[in-house]
């Protein structure tokens, strides 16, 4: 058990819809990261937050947004969903930037 | 920009044989290097990491990796494969100001009885 909790585990929705994925980091970790894993793109870094502030951005679409709340949990919002957004979305947390990341078990999103 | 290249998307070994998974990195600054393992329907789990110091790094489950700066490599090895080692393995690098962890494309390890 990594200590990182992601909900929900599975999500099935239709194109054009909006969903919110939630992540609770390990106790004491200030950094939260979001990754997207798909067969064709592999593991893609989306965005990182540190103690509530955006720290780094990766290949995150404009239709996607995230935030980290004062209690350090994070949410990833995906809107105007397309079939190609179907993927496994992972949250990870760490103490600080170069510390190892601890991953949650992911949310599997299926867009139909 | 930093990156990692994993040679071989699929590797198959016999139980008891040596496991060698290859990773080469590119980084303009001294890198932090990691190997992660992903079992089916699970998240990624840290196997081992290299930051500074000793170039031979020992991890969990009998795995180890050696940082070779001259070859820009960080290959993962295990002397004797077990059936339970079947999983996907990812090499990753942190380097540069943003401290983003960048993953390779992964190597799927199959262990044959």
pLDDT at residue B53, rounded to an integer: 83
List, for residues A28-57, the tens digit of each pLDDT value.
999 999 999 998 888 999 999 999 999 989
List, for residues B30-44, the tens digit of each pLDDT value.
788 999 999 988 889
- A56 and B32 in contact by Cβ < 8 A? no
Residue of A nearest to B47 (CA): A100
Which are the contacts of B58, defined by CB distance < 8 A and separation ≥ 6?
B48, B64
Identify all chain B residues contacting A55, using CB atoms and an 8 Å cutoff: 98-99
- For the stretch B57-94, what's the b/e string if a residue is b when 16 or more beta carbons lie within 10 angstroms of its beta carbon? bebeeebbbebeeeeebbbbebeebeeebbbbbbbbbb
pLDDT at residue B112, rounded to an integer: 96
Scan for tokens 């994070």, then name that residue: A74
- A103 and B43 in contact by Cβ < 8 A? yes
Scan for tokens 């929900």, then name that residue: A8
Chain mean pLDDT for chain B? 91
- B43 and A2 in contact by Cβ < 8 A? yes
Residue A30 near chain B (CB below 8 Å)? no
List, for residues B50-79, the tens digit of each pLDDT value.
988 888 999 999 999 999 999 999 999 999
List, for residues B78-93, the tens digit of each pLDDT value.
999 999 999 999 999 9
């Amino acid at each position: 058990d990594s200590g990182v909790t992601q909900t929900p585990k599975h999500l099935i929705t239709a194109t054009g819809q909006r969903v919110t994925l939630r992540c609770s980091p390990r106790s004491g970790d200030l950094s939260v990261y979001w990754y997207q894993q798909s067969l064709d793109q592999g593991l893609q870094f989306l965005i990182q937050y540190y103690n509530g502030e955006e720290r780094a951005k990766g290949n995150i679409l404009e239709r996607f947004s995230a935030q980290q709340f004062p209690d350090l949990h994070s949410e990833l919002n995906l809107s105007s969903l397309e079939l190609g957004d179907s993927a496994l979305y992972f949250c990870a947390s760490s103490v600080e930037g170069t510390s190892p990341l601890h991953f949650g078990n992911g949310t599997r999103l299926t867009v139909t | 920009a930093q990156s990692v290249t994993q040679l071989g998307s699929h590797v198959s070994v016999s139980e008891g044989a040596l496991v060698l998974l290859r990773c080469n990195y590119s980084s303009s600054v001294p890198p932090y290097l990691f190997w992660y393992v992903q079992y089916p329907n699970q998240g990624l789990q840290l196997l081992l990491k290299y930051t500074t110091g000793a170039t031979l790094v020992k991890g969990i489950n009998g795995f180890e990796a050696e940082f070779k700066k001259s070859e820009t490599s960080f290959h993962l090895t295990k002397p004797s494969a077990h059936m339970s080692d079947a999983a996907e393995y990812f090499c990753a690098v942190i380097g540069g100001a943003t401290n983003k962890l960048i993953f390779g494309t992964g190597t799927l390890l199959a262990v044959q009885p």
